[in-house]
Amino acid sequence: MKKIFSEILSLLKVLAITFLVTTLLTTFIINPVVVNGSSMMPTLQNHDVGIAYVITKKIVGLNRFATVTVYVAESDKYLVKRVIGLPGETIYAKDGVIYINDEPIEEEYLDNYIRHEFESTYKLPFTEDFPKVRIPDDYFFLMGDNRRNSKDSRDYGPFSNDAIKTNSLFIFYPFSNFGIK
């Protein structure tokens, strides 16, 4: 009887330690991520699997063009988006070009072939026009790379720093999309 009790106690210790380590890892170091949807195509594909770094956000903060996960209270979901606008900036899009503080930005991460194909096929700009927005302090303007198929700051408004949970993703499956995004 003592042996069974000892084994059960040992198992409970292992489970408690596993739970504690998992909780600490996902709170302070990394979060697992499964991409759901096409809003970040072509950078990320639907069902890509990887990890997002919580610790990098805590150490280096958020930079323009970083890929982040953000909590959206309205849908009670986490989304993967890209940081486009920083606190205190003004942002708008006109004729398919995004302007920050009235200067056009170069979006090198976007696949120019896909952008060109979309614009020549549909005769529409890849990025729809949106009015000028001033980004409040401690808020960020986030957008999906697949501009015509993304709910982002154009729909929800700028996101608070607290709503953005991670900075930078490492995709490990499928292998064709392997790497830091």
Q: Which residues are catalytic?
A: 39, 81
DSSP letter (8 states) at residue 39: T
**Longest CA pairwise span in the chain (Å):** 77
Instruction: Count how many residues are written for the chain.
Output: 181
CA distance 135 to 93: 14
Residue 21 burial (10 A CB sphere; 0-12, 13-18, 19+)? exposed
Residue 123 and residue 61 in contact, taking contact as beta carbons nearer than 8 Å:
no
Backbone φ/ψ region at 59: left (φ over 0), alpha (ψ -120 to 50), beta: alpha
CA distance 4 to 10: 10
